[in-house]
Amino acid sequence: MEKQKETKCVVWDLDETIWDGILLEMDAVKLKPGIKEIIRTLDSRGILHSIASKNDYDDAMCKLKEFGLDEYFLYPEINWNAKSVSIAKIRENLNIHPETIMFVDDNPLERDEVQSEHPEVLCVDASQYDSLLTHPCLNPRFITADSKRRRLMYLEDIERKKEEGEYQGPKKEFIASLNIQFIISQAKEEDLKRAEELTIRTNQLNATGRTYSYDDLQMFISSPKHQVIICEMKDKYGAYGKIGLALIEITADCYHLKLFLMSCRVMSLGVGSLLLSYIMKEAQKAGKKLKADFRDTGKNRMTYITFMFANFKKAESKDAGNMVLENDLSIVQDFPSYIDVIIR
């Protein structure tokens, strides 16, 4: 049986789940014992929270604010829609895969309805809420600085999206208005916990879907035959943290990309091409060929498109969707003038 993915977001019901009682029937609902500490602890681990509840939005948010919990819930869906519809909207807004969502609800009919529409979502009976802190899907191996800021980074992204929605003009001009700094450097020991986390959490912009452990990556940064490149990003709203990773195997005549990934949080900004352009420039400078491994995971078509736009071509096909791509480096795009690319 395939191991359950680490949970990125816990989606909560409210009545008889986060609190005892039915809000529309009794104003004096009380929080479940220990629930506030559970939500805060999971947040500190980098696990997001949202809500799928059949309730009046204003009343429910007012009650959550009264309990000091409203700030923890991103894109809450509090309405009278089917909860499967609410979860679909939350998933779309957070840009995460259903298999990384946990849904907690006291009503078995609601859990069954969600499970029927989203079989990859992990549905949990609310009666088990007090055991969530020890649940294997809610205990990441490492808790990094980026993990601790994850909710804040999403809140910053909500502000960006709001501004983008109001912006009148070309997409490039909007991106230029963000004053983006894209920083590329050789990975160091202190980067490796986040680097491992990136390989585990990143699905859509991941060339192979393969994960690498801290020990694997530590070996590669010490190897003269490999380079581990990490990139981070910041703009006028704040820091995105470390959002991209590449592993290059170096031979006498070739740079071979064994790993290439970029966080889905920056997908809409098209910055995956910046890291590729940097690697292409370095291969060209070294007088080497450039190859890249790619495996179709069913979730990473955007990565393949990024490679194709960068002039990679299929050089070799293997079994189970594995292939090797190659770039003749005849076309190497410059970095766009509206993004400040910093090489360290």
Beta strands in the chain (DSSP E): 9-12, 19-20, 30-31, 48-54, 77-79, 101-105, 122-125, 181-186, 226-235, 238-250, 254-262, 289-295, 313-317, 322-327, 340-343
pLDDT tens, residue by residue, 138-195:
999 889 889 999 999 999 989 998 998 899 888 889 999 999 999 999 999 999 999 9
Residues of the chain with pLDDT under 70: 1-4, 319-320
What was the pLDDT predicted at 320?
67
What was the pLDDT predicted at 280?
96
β pairing state of 77-79 and 48-54: parallel
What was the pLDDT predicted at 2?
43
Dihedral-angle region of residue 311 (phi above 0 means left; psi in -120 to 50 means alpha; beta otherwise): left
Distance of CA 135 to the CA centre of its chain: 20
What was the pLDDT predicted at 267?
77
CB burial of residue 200 (10 Å; 0-12, 13-18, 19+): middle
Q: Does domain 9-138 have CATH number 3.40.50.1000?
A: yes
CATH class of residue range 145-343: alpha beta
What would the two tokens of residue 115 be? 């499970």
pLDDT tens, residue by residue, 185-235:
999 999 999 999 999 888 778 999 999 999 999 999 999 999 999 999 999
Q: Where in the chain is the domain with CATH 3.40.630.30?
A: 145-343
How far, in Å, CA of 105 to CA of 201, rounded? Answer: 25
pTM of this structure: 0.82
